[in-house]
Structures are given as structure tokens and as C-alpha cells.
Structure 1
Amino acid sequence: MAWVAEARQGQARAGWLHTAHGTVPTPTFMPVGTKATVKAMTADAVRATGAGVVLGNTYHLMLRPGAERVAALGGLHKVMDWPGPILTDSGGFQVMSLGALRKLDEDGVTFRSHIDGSPHRLTPESSTAIQHDLDADITMAFDECPALPAPKAVLEASMERSMRWAARSRKAFKARPGYGQFGIVQGGTDRELRLRSIKALVAIGFEGYAIGGLAVGEPQAEMFATLDYTAPALPEDKPRYLMGVGTPDDMLGAVMRGVDMFDCVMPSRAGRTARAYTERGALNLRNARFKDDPRPLSPYEPSPLNRYSRAYLHHLFRTDEILGPMLLTWHNLAYYQRLMRLIRAHVVAGDLEGFAAFLRAQWALGDWGRAEWDGRPDELRF
């Protein structure tokens, strides 16, 4: 696996991620398919949005259907009908969030399944082996992700353990052409701990580097401040992945600070709860103001749903029809992919700063009411 730069503007980068199952332009947003499916979407629909990489999760897939079963069925690509690249989370975040159901020690984590209470254990070695069985193009090192806020002593102990686990994960990783493993930077929002974490990971050596432990409730300004010193300290010739982010504005700001890859459940989860992301901000399709609205969902931009009226989408959610979440998830994921393509194009063109200001102005402008919109141009273009 390799990442090749194409263009830079300030800290922002455009490049190409080459993997065993295809090449993906970056920056890129990766839809989350935790249990070998992007909820409410077929694989064909995910492909149609323009997505290049999808995610699976070690914790959930080891419990059901089981990594050995997935391997016997031909691997995750075949099982979920996704021929492109797949990244698998290590399961560390999910296990750490189990609270009383898990016990942490230096070797790994013992936990009880949230499904049936059965006992299990994950270590850096077993997490890496499971991801190998799943046939992930990108394997994540097993790490500890502490809850924030936390005292520096807690963050330091957690970060140091994660670095020891990163070394063990790397030793267990089976190198193959086109496959890679990412180390995960930890340290909360403490500059000294983050930089120490980077130094340790670079000394181990990975095909890419992820920034973990952010987007866990801290203000956006705090996340951006952490990225300001974290991303530039990472190797220039390796991909950078900000885990669990996020909103369109979060991703825009992170790209401008040097991040290449993102994942988040937000667009698909929002789609299931009637929230649509658009070029004019987010809309709640359950709102009564849409019940007689004949306009397409997003008259300001292309959308796979623009043949449906807002009134129809409102009706689907008010009557709890399953088609509503399916359609809105499709729209949201398509919007995220289009946003990434536009951001990338403006990095290559060298005018990202101006385009970022335009995007934020459009989001702030909001959705025009019917009377206002009927007398205005469909879209103000950058």
C-alpha cells in the first residue's frame, strides 16, 4: 500500500491511495459498514455515491458472524460485495466503551459480549489476526482510547500502553503487496503527549497514521488546535486518517490542516433520523414546514433524490416507512462524496481558501423558504 501526493495548498493535500483492491483519490470520506453493511444501503448504492473505501469493525465482526466464517466465505470483500478497498477498525474503541463489561490489563482486554454476555479477549495480536482473516486492505493497530476529559497522568499511561500495543500489532502484521497497517496517535489534547506518540509510531514504522482520541465531545476549536500541531508532525509521504470525523465543516477544516481520510457514522445515522445534509446546511425532514413543499430536497445542488419532493420525504418519515431512511442515507453519503471531490479539486486548483469561505457562507445562509426561493436563482456558484 502506498500514498502518492498530487498537489498541496498550505497544509492541505490531494493525493492517491494505492491498495490491493484499487486506487482512491484523497482526501476521501469512508462510509462506515460496521457489521459488513452500510446501514440502509446496498453495495451498489454505496458505489453509486462515489465512495472508494468502506469500513468494517473487528469487534462486531468477531462476534457475528465471526472472522473465521468470513474468511471461509472468501473474505469481507466477497461477503459484502465490495471489490474496492476496505479498512477495518481494530475494535479497541468499541471494547473500551463497554465499561463494566471489560477488564483492561497490559496484555489486552477481556470483555463480555454486549449481545449475549459471552466472554472474549482481544489483544494486539488477535486483533491484527482477525483483520487479516477479514482481508482488510488497511489494518488498524490495537489501541486504548480513554474517555475525555482526563488527567494528564491518565492520558500519558494510556498513550504509552497504546504505543507498546502498536509495536506488538506491527510485529503481528503479515505484510502483503497492496496491504498496509496504520498506527494510531493518542494523547488527548495534550501537545507533548501527541508528539511523543508520533515519535514512537514513526520509529515503529507504518504504511499510514491515524489520529485517534478526537471527535469525542471536545469543541471544534480544540480539535482543530490539536490538528494544527499533530498533522504537520506526521510523515509527509504517508496517508493521514482522522478517525470518527465528522460534520462537513469538521472535514473541511481538517483537510485544510493536512488530513487525507475520514470516517463517521454521522451521514448514515442522520439519514435514518430524517436529517439531510445539503449545500445550505442541515434540514430536518420531519419538520411540518415540509409537508406541502413540492421542491426537490436539494434544489441548489445535484442529489440522487432530486426527483422526489420534500413533501414526499416528509411523508415517508411521518409514516415510518423504511424507504425514508434508505433514501436520505443515500443522499447524505452522496453529498459527503461530492463535498470531498469538490474540496480535492480546489486543492489541486490552488484556490481552497476561497472555496472554503464560499462553502461556509452557503452553510450559514441556510435553506430559503419557498416564497424566497421561488424568486431567486437556484444556486450561487463559487
Structure 2
Amino acid sequence: MLQFLPMPFSFTLDAADGRARLGRLDTPHGPIETPVFAPVGTQATVKAMRPRDLRELGATLVLSNTYHLYLRPGDELIRDLGGLHRFMGWDGPILTDSGGFQVFSLADARRIDDDGVTFKSHLDGSTHRFTPEKSIAVQENLGADIIMMFDECPPPNEYEYVRRSLDRTHAWAERCLAAKTRPDQALFGIVQGGVFRDLREVSARFLLDLDLPGYAVGGLAVGETKAEMHAVLEWLHPILPSGKPRYLMGVGAPEDLVNGVLRGIDIFDCVLPTRIARNGAALVLGGRINLRNAKYTADPAPIDPACDCYTCAHFSRAYLRHLVKADEILASILLTTHNLHFLLRLMDDLRKAIRKGTLADFAGEFLSSYERRTTSDE
């Protein structure tokens, strides 16, 4: 058993199975067993879920968004009210992103230069500016356990643009590290480089020299193919330090979680399970079902007869379809409960398989269900 990182953070690797790793990340607000999926609470809330619900489902890490909380209600207000943990009533670990992805996704409403980004709020059109120093200051006000460097998320397939953007991202990484003041927050670097092996390796080696407590892989799940995503993770596996946690940003489809764990990823987050729930969809082995479909009108079965979540234990597909069609709040609550349970149970199964040394068999059977599924409810 090997331990890494100075307290108040420590990362312990307990077992490995191929490239997959079983570990524990200790933070000031409690431990995180890895590999782990973090539900996304963009506005300091996981939509349709109370913090107590998340605990009961087994969630140990929640992500919140720097850009959105900076704009509303304001990071200084959150700081003055005791920080994000107290503000949202969640006493477990929290990760905040840098706000960079949201800023860069504004496209027509932002202007990039080497010092930072000027952008217009999507709420009221007011003008704001983020620099590496500003992003760190906002995240320090929010008070999350894990914070992210401010980086540029470029189009993944445009080589020359990605190559130029790395210089900016790496300079910003150094500025983020210099701006950080709180010892109770772990600053993760973000490896960029699009779908290009040489650029990914350059980025990873640059960030390794900064000796950060963790490393994220950014710029994926933004339009590249699954094969390209897998290739990037395989390229980075021998470069990223084994004694630091690895975070694949914005990825949460069940098959992507399994493929990411197979390639050495420890931390995932995504809005997928909560977003599709609000649109009437439920995760099942091999894909998802759309409860808006008329074929469920009189279906007495639960979403998944093998699932032991609260939703499946108490409610039929027919009732859930009724709630969805009637636009009832309870539809979002029950479908979100099921979808998060599905992903959190999957992560638990992956951890157990790594410990037993049976991950290849488990992953093969799980992924084959996606290959066998020939119809879609979407």
C-alpha cells in the first residue's frame, strides 16, 4: 500500500487490475473511494436531490460550477455565509471547476487574450473578466476541497489552434499555482491537447513539472469519437504519475465510465444522469429508456426489475410515465434517484471487481450489453 500527497490531502492506492486502480483520496471533508462518479451540482445543488438523498445513494463527491456561482449568487456572498459546504448543506468533499469551459462555450459572447477572457453573462448581458488569478480567487471564496486550474478548452480536432492554445493554458497553469493561497484546497492541473498524441504528451509533461496534487484530462467529450477518447487516455496512462488521482472531466455515460476505469481514470463527473431524468429518461443496462414512450402507458414493471433503488422498489413505468407527461416535479426526483443510483452502484461494482481482480470479466459482460442492444427508446 502506497500513500501520496501531504495532508490535509492523501491519496492511497490499495489495488490495481490492469490499468485500473482502486484508491482512496482523503480530503478535509472526508474520504473518497476511487474510482468515483461525482454528481454535478452546478448551482450549488444537484437538481431534484437533497444532500441527504445524495448521502443515502452513496455519493461521496459533488461538483459545483465556478462560473455560475460567481454570477449568481456571487462567490463573496457564499464566502461570507461560511463557504460552499455550509451554504448548500453538504458536508462531504466538493470539487469546483474553473469556469473555463463555460466561458469558452459562450463563443459569440467572449474575447480571449493571453491574460484572460472577457465575457458577457448569459443572465443579463453584463460584462465580466476571468483571469487565472480571478478563477483561483473565486474558487478560494467558494471553499471547495478540489479546485481546477483555469485553462482553454479548444476545438479537439484543429491541430494548429490546439498547439497555440497550449502555450496559453500552460502559462495560465503557472499563474494559477502562484495565485493559490489556501492549503486546504488541492489544485488539479488539466491536460489539454485535443486528439493529438504529441500535444497531449507535451501538456502532461509540462504539468508534471509543476508537481500538482492531481491531474485532470480535459477537452474530451466535446465532439471527438469514442475511439479518440480512449486513445488519449491510453497515451496518458504511462505519463501521468501513478501516485496522483486522475480525473476525466465531463464524462458520465455508463459505458464511458467503464472504459475510463479500464484506462486508469479515478474520478468522473457529468450532468447526464440528472439532465436525462428531467427529460423523462432512465438509465438501464445497455442504454436508457424514454418514459414518454406510449408503450409504457400501462406497464406495471419497474424501470429495472433487478434494481433496488427507491424508485424501482415502489413505482411502475406506467406511473412514472404519467408523472413525466403531467410535468410533475416528482418525475424528476424519482428518475434522478434511479439514474444516480445506477451510476453509483456501477462505480461500487467496478471497485469490487478491481479488488477481486475480475475487472476484465465484469467490464466485458457490462460493455457487451451495449453491443447487443439493437433498439433505442430515445
Q: Is TM-score (shorter-chain normalized) higher than 0.5?
A: yes
Residues in 2 aligned to 1:363 and 1:303: alpha-carbon distance in whole angstroms: 22
Counterpart of 2:86 in structure 1: which amino acid? Answer: K
| AA in 1 matched with 2:167 | E
Measure how far apart 1:2 and its partner are.
2.1
Correspondence for 1:210: 216
Match of 1:275 among 267, 276, 281: 281
**Residue 68, structure 1, aligned to residue 85, structure 2:** no
Instruction: State yes or no: 1:354 paired with 2:361.
Output: yes
Alpha-carbon shift at residue 174 of structure 1 (Å): 1.7
**Aligned-partner Cα distance in 2 for 1:335–1:160:** 40
Give CA-to-partner distance per residue, 1:82-133, whole Å, 9 cap, x none: 0000000000000011112111111111111111111111110110011011
Match of 2:85 in 1: 77
Q: SS at 2:310's partner residue?
A: coil
The alpha carbon displacement at 1:205 in A equals 1.7
Residue 21 of structure 1 aligns with which residue?
Answer: 29
1:267–1:329 CA contact under 8 A, matched in 2 = yes
Q: Distance in 1 between matches of 2:177 and 2:57?
A: 34
For residues 172-213 of structure 1, the C-alpha deviation after alignment (integer angstroms, 9 at most, x for no partner) is: 112424x31100000001101111101110111211000000
* Range that drifts further, 73-82 or 274-283: 274-283
Match of 2:335 in 1: 328
1:192 partner letter: D
Q: Which residue of 2 aligns with 1:297?
A: 303
2:293 corresponds to 1:287: yes
Matched residues in 2 for 1:232 and 1:294: separation? 50
Matched, 1:112 2:116: no
Whether the 8 Å CA contact 2:216–2:248 is kept in 1: the answer is: yes
Secondary structure of 2:238 counterpart: helix
SS of residue in 1 equivalent to 2:237: helix
What amino acid sits opposite 2:289 in the alignment?
L
Matched, 1:318 2:325: yes
Between 1:359-368 and 1:41-50, the stretch displaced more is 359-368
**Match of residue 142 from structure 1:** 150
1:267-325: CA deviation from partner (whole Å, max 9, x where unpaired): 10011111111235311111111111111111023222121011100111111111111
Report the equivalent of 2:136.
128
Distance in 2 between residues matched to 1:278 and 1:342, nearest whole Å: 15
Distance 1:120 1:70 in 2: 19
Code of the residue aligned with 2:318 in structure 1: it is A
Distance 2:287 2:162 in 1: 35
Instruction: Determine if contact 2:282/2:338 at 8 Å carries over to the other structure.
Output: yes
| 1: CA distance, partners of 2:371 / 2:331 | 26
Aligned alpha-carbon RMSD (Å) = 1.4
Report the number of matched residues: 366
Partner of 1:344: 351
Q: Normalising by structure 2, what TM-score?
A: 0.94
Say whether residues 1:264 and 2:267 are aligned partners. Answer: no
Quote the residue 1:240 is aligned against.
246
Within 5 Å, which residues of 2 pair with 1:33-182? Answer: 33-150=41-158, 152-177=159-184, 179-182=185-188
- 1:201 pairs with 2:207: yes
Q: Is the 8 A contact 2:40 2:46 kept in 1?
A: yes
TM-score (norm 1): 0.93
> Aligned partner of 1:65: which letter?
P
Q: Does the residue aligned with 1:305 lie in a helix, a strand or coil?
A: helix
CA contact (8 A) 1:13 1:258 kept: yes
Aligned-pair CA distance for 1:246: 2.2
2:316 maps to 309
- Paired with 1:26 and 1:305, the residues of 2 have a C-alpha distance of 26
Distance 1:327 1:284 in 2: 14
Residue aligned with 1:250, SS = helix
Cα distance change, pair 186–280 in 1 and its aligned pair in 2 (3 A): closer
Unmatched segments (≥5 aa) in structure 1: 369-382
* Secondary structure of 1:25's aligned partner: strand
In 2, Cα distance between equivalents of 1:362 and 1:195: 33
Alpha-carbon distance in 2 for matches of 1:37, 1:130: 18
Any idea what SS the aligned residue of 1:277 has? Answer: strand
On the 8 A contact 2:195/2:224 being kept in 1, the answer is no
State whether residues 157 and 195 of structure 2, in contact with CA within 8 Å, keep that contact through their aligned partners in structure 1. no
CA distance in 2, matches of 1:266, 1:135: 25
Aligned partners of 1:207, 1:81: CA distance in 2, in Å?
A: 26
C-alpha separation in 2, matches of 1:67 and 1:175:
16
Q: CA deviation at 1:360?
A: 2.1
AA of the residue aligned to 2:251: V
CA distance in 2, matches of 1:217, 1:184: 18
In structure 2, what is the Cα distance between the partners aligned to 1:100 and 1:366? 40
